[in-house]
Amino acid sequence: MDNRWFLVLADLILVLHMVLVAFVILGLVVTFAGHFLKWHWVRNFWFRLSHLIVIGIVVLQSWLGVLCPLTVWEMTLREKAGRAAYDGSFIQHWLQSVLYYSAPDWVFVLVYSVFGALVLASWFWVRPRWPGK
């Protein structure tokens, strides 16, 4: 495979990763905003379950000290394309690159855990509508 295809695949994984991050963050914001604005779709069971599962995976990975598979795949593809991979997690790298912010791993574990707890709490504050109801 031509090296540029490895880079294209790495970039596609990066885009997917960014979409998932946006889904996690905006999903919680939209859930609470939708509650106050009476948007019924924010109670959709499948939307809420997928949101909970994604942040649950992020929290579990952080507790276990495991890098996200998307980060690993992206870095591997960048190395195969002859580009330098980055150190640390996806979020750490992009926060440092975009915001010039660096923090110890425990800070990210704490932030992910608190955010995950908020998503879980949203199931009680803004109850999802079960399928078929």
The answer as to whether 91 is a domain residue is yes
Residue 29, pLDDT score: 98
- Give me the helix-helix angle, 45-64 and 105-125, nearest 10°: 160
Beta strand spans in the chain (E):
none
Q: How is residue 70 written in tokens? A: 């998307």
The answer as to whether 105 is a domain residue is yes
Residue 27, pLDDT score: 98
The answer as to whether 132 is a domain residue is no
Q: Is 44 helix (H, G, I), strand (E, B) or coil?
A: strand
Distance CA(45)–CA(49), nearest Å, equals: 6
The answer as to whether 130 is a domain residue is no
Tally of domains in the chain: 1
* Among the listed residues 92, 122, 129, the one whose alpha carbon sits nearest the alpha carbon of residue 29: 122
Distance CA(17)–CA(23), nearest Å, equals: 10
The answer as to whether 133 is a domain residue is no
Residue 86, pLDDT score: 66
* Among the listed residues 55, 41, 37, the one whose alpha carbon sits nearest the alpha carbon of residue 118: 55
Q: How many residues does the chain have?
A: 133
Per-residue pLDDT of the chain (133 residues; tens, 9 = 90+): 678 888 888 888 888 888 998 999 999 999 999 999 999 999 999 999 999 999 999 999 999 999 889 989 988 988 888 876 666 666 666 655 654 456 788 988 999 999 999 999 999 999 999 987 6
Compute φ and ψ for 8, nearest 5 degrees.
Answer: -60, -45
* Domain assignment of residue 16, given as a range: 3-125
Largest CA-CA distance found in the chain, in angstroms, rounded:
53
Hunting for tokens 């960014």 — which residue is that? 18
Residue 99, pLDDT score: 42
The answer as to whether 79 is a domain residue is yes
